[in-house]
Amino acid sequence: MKKILSIFLALFLTVTLFAGCSDKTGDGKDTDTKDTGSASDTKREEVGEYKLGLGVLTDTDSSKDGTAQVDATIAAVITDGKGKIVDCYIDVAQNKMSVKDGVAEKGQTYKTKQEQGADYGMKGASGIDKEWNEQAAFFAGFVKGMTADEVSAIKTEKNAGGSVVAADEDLYAGCTIDISDMMQAVTKACKDDQAYSFRSADNPKVRIGAVTEDASSKDAGEDADGLAAMYTSIAAVVEQDGKAVACCIDVIEPKISFAKDGKIGEVKFDGSKRELKEDYGMKDASGIGKELYEQASAFADYVVGKTSKEVAGIETTKNDSGHMVAKDADLYAGCTVS
């Protein structure tokens, strides 16, 4: 069985969401929805029906001789009963690996653009003095209230550099970066056929955690190509009162081959694990007759109702293959992967 990434680690990155802190939307408004008063003097927010959707757009076109690169644009959306976006969060796992002279530079720490924050270094060159994460937040705030069709219909134009940017003046005022991938990722998230249905108080918030590891990478030899394997586990989580009320998990495993001289070769990627479903081919080898996307869904169901501390405290044990798997019998019955 192929080595599966630790989905648990991706979910653990959402620990800051579970703290229940207030958040800023793209329009700069404070959107804290905690109930700070008692039932007698504060009206409780009404509970509504929502769906959490996840969309991932993966691109390896920026790879070049000497450097393998994977850009995964990730969008998580909460939609209401009418299919309108209630909340949106966008991130990009922009992973790069040097393969110069046929050597895979593995063992790196990969941070998403949201994690890099001001360290990403776009602010000074942006033209509007805004960093990437600020512009992504502005875009996320702009699409609130829209449906999938309305997001995909946002008018765009190409700038002098060939980037696809917003033609809408209000959107461009706060987001001058290329928005084509964000539009597609948000649209995919809105149309997610595996969206997680849940009930929550008004104004639920979603966040994304992503973990990338490269342990499966290997150097090129005289008679065999090398492999740049930057695999990313992704989790989208909605919390209420410090506990998860919805969760979606996905994994991408693009494989980029390269020669002894560092020349980029074949790229193998047919889609994320949630997109591939049965085509991923794990079912027969799983031991419980379940495909990876089904096992990831079982893990997501298991963590709903738990706090970040409880998720971090899930007990694990090594199986015969050396993978860390769930020690809890109920969890392991539906999720035997790492």
- Residue 49: what are its φ and ψ, rounded to 5°? -100, 130
Structure confidence at residue 48 (pLDDT): 84
Indicate whether 259 pLDDT > 50: yes
Geometric angle at alpha carbon 211, from 116 and 87, rounded to 5°:
70
What residues contact 304, with CB distance under 8 A and at least 6 apart?
Answer: 198, 244, 245, 246, 247
Confidence (pTM): 0.86
Return the DSSP state at 265.
Answer: E
Selection from 17, 45, 37 nearest residue 242 by Cα = 17
136-184: pLDDT as tens digits: 999 999 999 999 999 999 999 999 999 999 999 999 999 999 999 999 9
Number of residues that this document lists for the chain: 338
CA distance linking residue 188 with residue 48, whole number of Å: 23
Residue 233 forms beta bridges with which residues?
211, 251
Confidence at 225, pLDDT banded by 50, 70, 90: very high
Indicate whether 35 pLDDT > 50: no
Indicate whether 41 pLDDT > 60: no
Buried b (16+ CB within 10 A) or exposed e, 76-96: bbbbeeeebbbbbbbbbbbbb
Structure confidence at residue 125 (pLDDT): 86
CA distance linking residue 6 with residue 183, whole number of Å: 28
The dihedral through the CA atoms of 192, 286, 271, 207 has a sign that is positive
Query: Residues 77-100: what's their mean pLDDT?
Result: 98
Start-to-end C-alpha separation, the chain: 11
Structure confidence at residue 65 (pLDDT): 97
CA distance linking residue 240 with residue 283, whole number of Å: 34
* Beta strands at 264-268 and 316-318: parallel, antiparallel or unpaired: unpaired
Indicate whether 69 pLDDT > 60: yes
233-251: pLDDT as tens digits: 999 999 999 999 999 999 9
- Helix (H) and strand (E) counts in the chain: 11, 14
Indicate whether 23 pLDDT > 80: no
Query: Residues 97-125: what's their mean pLDDT?
Result: 95
- Residue 185: what are its φ and ψ, rounded to 5°? -65, -40
CA distance linking residue 197 with residue 80, whole number of Å: 10
Query: Residues 123-147: what's their mean pLDDT?
Result: 95
Three-state SS string across 66-120, please? CEEEEEEEEEEEEECCCCCEEEEEEEEEEEEEECHHHCCCCCCCCCCHHHHHHHH
Name the most confidently modeled range: 40-44, 150-154, 321-325. 150-154
Structure confidence at residue 255 (pLDDT): 98
- DSSP character string of 268-297: E----HHHHGGGG--GGGSSSS--HHHHHH
Confidence at 201, pLDDT banded by 50, 70, 90: confident
Confidence at 47, pLDDT banded by 50, 70, 90: confident
- Kind and range of the H or E run holding 252: strand 243-252
Give me 143's structure tokens. 């699409």
Give me 30's structure tokens. 């404070």
What residues contact 227, with CB distance under 8 A and at least 6 apart?
Answer: 104, 216, 217, 218, 255, 256, 257, 258
Of the two residues 42 and 240, the one the predictor is more confident about is: 240
Indicate whether 15 pLDDT > 70: no
Structure confidence at residue 46 (pLDDT): 64
